[in-house]
Structure 1
Amino acid sequence: MGKTIVILVDNKRRDLRGAALIAHHLQRMGANVFLEPLEAYRAVLPAYRPDLIVFNHLLASHLANYSGRLREIGVKVAVLPNESLLYNPDVMRFNSRRYNDNVHLDVYCCWNEIQRQCVLQNGYDPKTTRVEVVGNPKFDFYFPPWNQPYKEPAGNHARPRILLCTNFCLANYKETPREVADKLFDIWRKHIPAYRDYWGAIEANHRSRARLLEFLMAILKANRYEVILRPHPGEHFPFYENWIRQLEPELKTHLHFAPDGPIYPLILNCDLEISCETCTTALESWLCGKPTMELVFERHPMFYHKEVVGLNVECETPESLVSEIERQLANPSQPEFRAAREQHI
């Protein structure tokens, strides 16, 4: 009889399909696999009596302590992070740390070699914890055969399709009680120098989100494109919904707000992807051979990283955006970036 494995899913919008693909492969190997929300981490033990539980992290005291309990009763523990595109080395080290001495981990699956080295430097013993680089399983959906359900026939849209991906997850903390942000950043600010002025980062993110609407308006007023607006799963969607609701009807005709559903078909079927400073969606678009642009705001170090400077076409003003879009659509292969992007990936 096959082993029983439970994969805990943190964010359903972002992580469910990737977890399902992993489950598919494991089931073909003979395992019995169940997907459950992360919040059910205790309930899955009596429900399934698993041999292995896969977490997305063990960086909270309740999860760290529970992993020790699982060791005592013979249940294996694995971690597969859902966010590991981390360019700040302090953030990478902090997110790869052992939370306390009670943490037990049998397998740590890393996105890249940099993360693997951080995991080992943070005290995980390779004699007791298998540390492997597996990449990001979600990226498999950009390649055959897993991309086939998401790909539309060529020429399926009359206008060039622009995918605008936003990434302003901290902006709404400016509009909530200060203590909410204080609690969120309480531990990060103590260990990550770039996060000490977290309120400054929140204010910058809030201003940048407002500035984003000027860029978006420039695209809509050009009346040349089909525009898909995709917020990060961690953003406050009503901000965009309220803004769209107030638009003149003619400006909404070719605008599609897409907060739900998988990102894969949006990237696979766009003609140009535009992200906001550093975002994983740009890298995902490279994998699909899509041209990319990045909107530049305040170059705050929490959001703008030198490691990706020169890998995308940057645009700093709404006034120059449409002409730059036209240039990139005319030369979508962006050959000047190809070698550097391949090296980065």
Structure 2
Amino acid sequence: MNDTRHHQIVEASPRVAIVVDNPRRDLRGLVLLAHEFTKLGALAYLVPMYQQGYDLPLLAPDLVVVNYARENNRSLLETYRALHYRVAVLDTEGGVLSESGLDSPANWARGIRQSGLAALVHDYCFWGEAVRDAFVEHSGMDAEALAVTGCPRYDLCCAPWSEVLEYERRGFVLVNTNFSAINPQFTRSAEDESRIFKSLGWEADYVEKLFDELKAVFPRYLDAVELIARTFPAKTVLVRPHPFENPQIYRDRFAGLSNVIVDGAGDILNAIFAADCVVHLNCGSAVDTVRLGKLPISLEYLNTERMRRHAPLPSRLSCPAGDPEMLLSLIADPDAAVAGYDKIMISREVGRWYHLSDGLSARRVATFLMSRLGDRQPAARRSLGAAVRGGRSRASALQVLRGALGALAGSKPVSTLAELVQRSRRQKRIELPFVIGLLEQYCRLDDGVPALASIVRNPLTGAPLSTIAVRKK
């Protein structure tokens, strides 16, 4: 009897699918978002990005929270709209932008209107006011559909959620690298990355000059890391490659330095939380560092005007190292540098791009999007055909084969097989025990009501899917 009632409650609950782009970076914030949705009575799905087109047409969610609206997921957005899923965007990137380039707020907003992508999105959640204001003016979207919520990932910088931040080391210099464009992990070469930049609309001359400058600076950046390690031999220097970077070049370069560790595992917030200071060059982790009360040090003596304009905020928030001597001085006494910060200026700079640092971003996202689910919304539909095509209107033979196998055996075992061929895709996997552990912590810190997480099964065959469901007990 109890099981029957529970089943009926779940079926009657709004179904919200949350697309997870990079689990190492995004999962903890999105599990918190799932937690907030369940508090409002929803059944939440955590969906790996690469499996969304195979799983969601089978699950028929009322709402899909996608990680972006770009040309490369247009077909998926079209499918979701055709199946009557409400589409909302919660960008996994959106605070560190260029001033006048393709991803500047105004150009971003114009681009989404001119490309027609705005017509595929019902609602948009923004990290801060600067981008939302640009969308109000230039995107053509209804202002009521555009909300400043903040990014759930940054809720972990605040109590009570910061209690989940743990790290095995303490008292080290953290070096966050940011050279995925010329040292990529998921594409074959910098030339491939350059073509991607150009395909997204960046002017060829701009891309070529930017990449040339990155290539010229990179060896000097490695020299700076070696200088730190040799100057402070008793201090651990933790090199953390960008999630989309190939870490091998760092392992090879620093193999002879016993106090240098190359380790990008886990969430970056944990590492910053435990570090003495953070060294970077135009890296968005400067914002994370400021929010956690640590010192970001920018290698300004290596910077160029073009690189700085491409992502200006990190430099503005950081203590500038104008030469190697200043770099070593800042590392020697980071507490003194933090004490000299202009906190009012820093707060103003961060505030335009990142909403309130109050630990409530996930709650704002969930509350806003649930309020936008109307009674007159057409019923979401399942589509086996769309699932077989991977959510695409025109799928390749390989995608159809994978979709057909997934429909029969389940997307979870099929994606596991795919990871044997593309090992890098393992980093996109969502592990159920990790989600369960996080939910237990969030529920303990918040409302105390336990939540359940489980692997979702194909409603037609019962085969296991890659998606994880989260619901209140």
TM-score, normalised by the number of residues in structure 2 = 0.64
- Letter of the structure 2 residue corresponding to residue 261 of structure 1: G
> Could you tell me how far apart the structure 1 residues matched to 2:292 and 2:100 are?
27
Match of 1:125 in 2: 141
Counterpart of 2:179 in 1: which secondary structure?
coil
> Could you tell me how far apart the structure 1 residues matched to 2:272 and 2:228 are?
18
Distance 1:205 1:29, change over 3 A: same
**Superposed CA offset, 1:40-87 (max 9, x none):** 2322333321111111112115x3244234333321001011111213
- Letter of the structure 2 residue corresponding to residue 139 of structure 1: Y
2:21 aligned with 1:17: no
- Letter of the structure 1 residue corresponding to residue 24 of structure 2: R
Of 111, 116, 119, 1:103 maps to 119
Of 193, 204, 221, 2:213 maps to 204
- Letter of the structure 1 residue corresponding to residue 237 of structure 2: V
CA contact (8 A) 1:67 1:103 kept: no
> Could you tell me how far apart the structure 2 residues matched to 1:66 and 1:326 are?
50
Of 196, 200, 203, 1:184 maps to 196
Match of 1:7 in 2: 18
- Letter of the structure 2 residue corresponding to residue 27 of structure 1: T
2:358 aligned with 1:322: no
| Correspondences of 1:1-345 after superposition (within 5 Å) | 1-60=12-71, 63-84=73-94, 85-90=96-101, 91-92=103-104, 93-96=106-109, 97-98=112-113, 99-100=115-116, 103-126=119-142, 130-151=145-166, 157=170, 160-172=171-183, 180-188=192-200, 190=201, 192=202, 196-222=205-231, 223-245=233-255, 247=256, 251-252=257-258, 254-276=259-281, 278-296=282-300, 297-304=302-309, 305=311, 307=313, 309-329=315-335, 331-345=336-350
**Superposed CA offset, 1:97-141 (max 9, x none):** 2332683211101111111122233333317x6110111211111
- Letter of the structure 1 residue corresponding to residue 128 of structure 2: N
- Letter of the structure 1 residue corresponding to residue 229 of structure 2: L
1:312 Cα deviation (Å)? Answer: 1.9
1:149 Cα deviation (Å)? Answer: 2.1
CA contact (8 A) 2:97 2:312 kept: no
> Could you tell me how far apart the structure 1 residues matched to 2:237 and 2:117 are?
50
Greater relative contact order (CA < 8 Å, ≥ 6 in sequence): 2
**How many residues end up aligned between the 2 structures?**
328
Single out whichever of 320-329 and 293-302 deviates more from structure 2. Answer: 320-329
CA contact (8 A) 1:68 1:103 kept: no
> Could you tell me how far apart the structure 2 residues matched to 1:178 and 1:83 are?
21
Larger Rg: 2
> Could you tell me how far apart the structure 1 residues matched to 2:189 and 2:241 are?
23
> Could you tell me how far apart the structure 2 residues matched to 1:327 and 1:271 are?
9
1:8 Cα deviation (Å)? Answer: 1.0
CA contact (8 A) 2:14 2:41 kept: yes
> Could you tell me how far apart the structure 1 residues matched to 2:121 and 2:108 are?
15
> Could you tell me how far apart the structure 1 residues matched to 2:315 and 2:69 are?
32
- Letter of the structure 2 residue corresponding to residue 122 of structure 1: H
Counterpart of 2:238 in 1: which secondary structure?
strand
Counterpart of 1:42 in 2: which secondary structure?
helix
Counterpart of 2:218 in 1: which secondary structure?
helix
**Superposed CA offset, 1:196-222 (max 9, x none):** 331221121122221111111111112
> Could you tell me how far apart the structure 1 residues matched to 2:152 and 2:193 are?
31
Distance 1:164 1:142, change over 3 A: same
In proportion to residue count, which structure has more helix? Answer: 2
> Could you tell me how far apart the structure 1 residues matched to 2:22 and 2:313 are?
27
> Could you tell me how far apart the structure 2 residues matched to 1:79 and 1:2 are?
21
> Could you tell me how far apart the structure 2 residues matched to 1:292 and 1:123 are?
34
Distance 1:171 1:318, change over 3 A: farther
> Could you tell me how far apart the structure 1 residues matched to 2:323 and 2:29 are?
36
Distance 1:284 1:102, change over 3 A: closer
5+ residue gaps, structure 1? none
Counterpart of 1:215 in 2: which secondary structure?
helix
CA contact (8 A) 1:6 1:36 kept: yes
5+ residue gaps, structure 2? 1-11, 351-473
Q: Pairwise CA RMSD of aligned residues?
A: 2.6
Single out whichever of 91-100 and 292-301 deviates more from structure 2. Answer: 91-100
> Could you tell me how far apart the structure 2 residues matched to 1:263 and 1:57 are?
21
Distance 1:20 1:101, change over 3 A: closer
CA contact (8 A) 2:287 2:317 kept: no
> Could you tell me how far apart the structure 2 residues matched to 1:65 and 1:15 are?
23
CA contact (8 A) 1:64 1:103 kept: no
Distance 1:28 1:101, change over 3 A: closer
CA contact (8 A) 2:99 2:312 kept: no
Distance 1:66 1:150, change over 3 A: closer
